[in-house]
Each structure stands twice: as structure tokens, then as C-alpha cells.
Amino acid sequence: MSDSLNEAPKVYRVMKRDPSDNLPVVGSTNSAELGVRPSIDIIVNQAGNVEINAGGMSVAPQWRDLEFTRIPKRLRPIVRGAIGSNSSSCYKMGVGPFESGVVAEGLVLIPDEGKAPVTHGVIAPIQVVSITKYQMDLEKTRNSWQIDET
């Protein structure tokens, strides 16, 4: 497990691009925003706290590993059949290998279990926190995301 934020795992996610600063749009209404959809991406209990059960915000080790329905269609020459919105971009954050580890304050990468190569994982809270705190921790990463469609 990475123990330093300087070696935080590199993760990719397709998110809507804010035209004012080219950073991801924060939100929890659909899965192309920086945030999670309560009860869909992660379980929230009656007290308003998230459950630690491998749910979280979906990410991939490479942008090409993301679902073709999410990859912007302008990237069709690279990924056949891509049919994501062109107002979204492929963003990356971190530098280290796609392994369990802290990705930002309060957040950890949990790669899917199964045979290598793993192509999907989630960014989950490190510990039980309120959904509000979890969304805020995700929002705080906004400036760390960079567009990478190479």
C-alpha cells in the first residue's frame, strides 16, 4: 500500500469539464461528475454515514480501460465505438501504480479483486465518515485532476 501522497496511485476517470478552468465538474447527480451518487455508488446508512464496503467513485488505471460509453466520442480513432459526451474529458490524478493506497486526504484507492490486470477500482473513504464529509474530500481533489487523453 502506498503510504505517501507523493506516490499516490495514478487513477483515471471521465468527468464533465468545467469550461471556465478545464477542471472536473463537482456533483452527485450522474457518474460523470467528481463525486458519488448516494445509494448507487456507495451505501449511506440511516445516520447519514457511508458504509465501508468497496463502494465509492469509479476509476481505472488507464483511460483506455474506462467504459467505451464514457470515453468521449472524439477519441473514437483510439477507442472504437466510444460514445461518451464530448463535453467530458479523461482526467488523471496521482503518479504511482494502481494498487491499494491513499490517493488524497481521507481517501483510498481500492482496486477490484480478481485476476491481473485489474482495470477498475473505486476511491473510497478511509474510514466511516458522513456522506457530506466524503463528498467534500472528493471535491477537495478537484485541483489535482489533469486532462490526459494521450
Partner 1 sequence: MTRQTLFGSQSFTKVASGLLALHRLVKVGQEDTPEADSIRDALDAPLMALNPTEKKRAQLLSEDLYSVSEPLSGSNQKVMNPQAQQKLIEAYEAKESGDWDRALALLRRWKDYISPELLSYLRGSIWLSAGNPSVATMFYEHAMESDPENANYRAIYLHALAESNPEQADNLACEILVNHEKNEPIVVARAALIRFNKLENSLGLHSIKLSRDLIPILERNMERIENDEDTMRQKTLYAMTTGVLGFCHELQGNKTVAAQYYSRGILENPENSALLVARGILLYGTSPVAISDFEQALELNSPLIWPSFFLAHHYLLNNKYDQCRTMCESGLRLEGNAATIGQLKEWLAISYAELGFSPQLVRFAFEDALRIDPLNKLAKRNLECYESFINKQLGCETLLWEQKPIADIRQFGLAERPYFWAA
Q: Which residues bind partner 1 (CB under 8 A)?
A: 30-32, 67-70, 73, 76, 79-87
What distance in Å separates the CA atoms of residue 41 and residue 23, rounded to the nearest whole number? 22
For partner 1, the closer CB: 47 or 77:
77
Least distance to partner 1 from the beta carbon of 12, Å?
Answer: 16
DSSP the chain: -B-SGGGPBPEEEEEEB-TTTSPBPB-SSSTTSBS--BTTTB-B-TTSBBP-SS-SEEEBSSGGGS-TTTSBGGGTTTSTT--B-TTEEEEEE--B-SSSEEEETTEEEEEPPSSSSP--EEEEESS--BHHHHHHHHHHTGGG-EE---
Q: Give whichever of 62 and 144 is closer to partner 1, judged by the CB atom.
A: 62
Nearest distance from C-beta of residue 83 to partner 1, angstroms: 5
Identify which of residues 87 and 146 has a Cβ nearer to partner 1 in the complex: 87
- Pick 106 or 121: Cβ nearer partner 1: 121
Smallest gap, in angstroms, from Cβ of residue 67 to partner 1?
6
Q: How far is the CB of 30 from partner 1 (least distance, A)?
A: 5
